């Protein structure tokens, strides 16, 4: 097991691109171990699998932060975020900003 860390967006207008060694979003979401703050910054830790996967092809994902009480619209007939691609929640600014993070395959929503 190789655990890697990615910094997550600190704002609801920032959709961070992340390259991960998983071909489908279900495997990428299931690889997430934890979302929390480190030194005041939101981070995601995930299992990147074996070292040899890192030399192979990576897929581009986007992390979408959604604030409590915010609604995310549909993209055509698909919801952009759903419980299936939820990866965790972080409390920022001393708990005054609560961001819920979702992982989506970049090509599905961001052309």
Residue 53 has pLDDT above 60, yes or no: no
CB atoms within 10 A of CB 86: 16
pLDDT tens digits, one per residue of 78-109: 677 788 999 999 999 888 899 999 999 887 66
Q: What is the mean pLDDT of the chain?
A: 85
Report DSSP letters for 49-65, one per residue: --HHHHHS--EEEEEEE
Question: Given this model, what pLDDT does residue 110 score?
Answer: 60
Q: Is the dihedral of CA 25, 5, 17, 97 positive or negative?
A: positive
| Closest to 19 in 3D by CA, of 11, 10, 31 | 31
Residue 76 has pLDDT above 70, yes or no: no
């Amino acid at each position: 097991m190789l655990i890697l860390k990615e910094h997550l967006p600190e704002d609801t207008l920032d959709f961070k691109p992340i390259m991960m060694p998983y071909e489908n979003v279900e495997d990428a979401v299931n690889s997430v171990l934890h979302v929390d703050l480190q030194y005041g910054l939101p981070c995601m830790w995930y299992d990147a699998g074996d070292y040899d996967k890192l030399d192979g092809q990576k897929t581009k994902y986007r992390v979408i932060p959604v604030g409590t009480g915010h609604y995310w619209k549909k993209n055509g007939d698909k919801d952009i975020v759903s419980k299936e691609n939820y990866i965790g929640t972080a409390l920022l600014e001393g708990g005054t900003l609560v961001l819920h993070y979702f992982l989506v395959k970049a090509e599905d929503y961001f052309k």
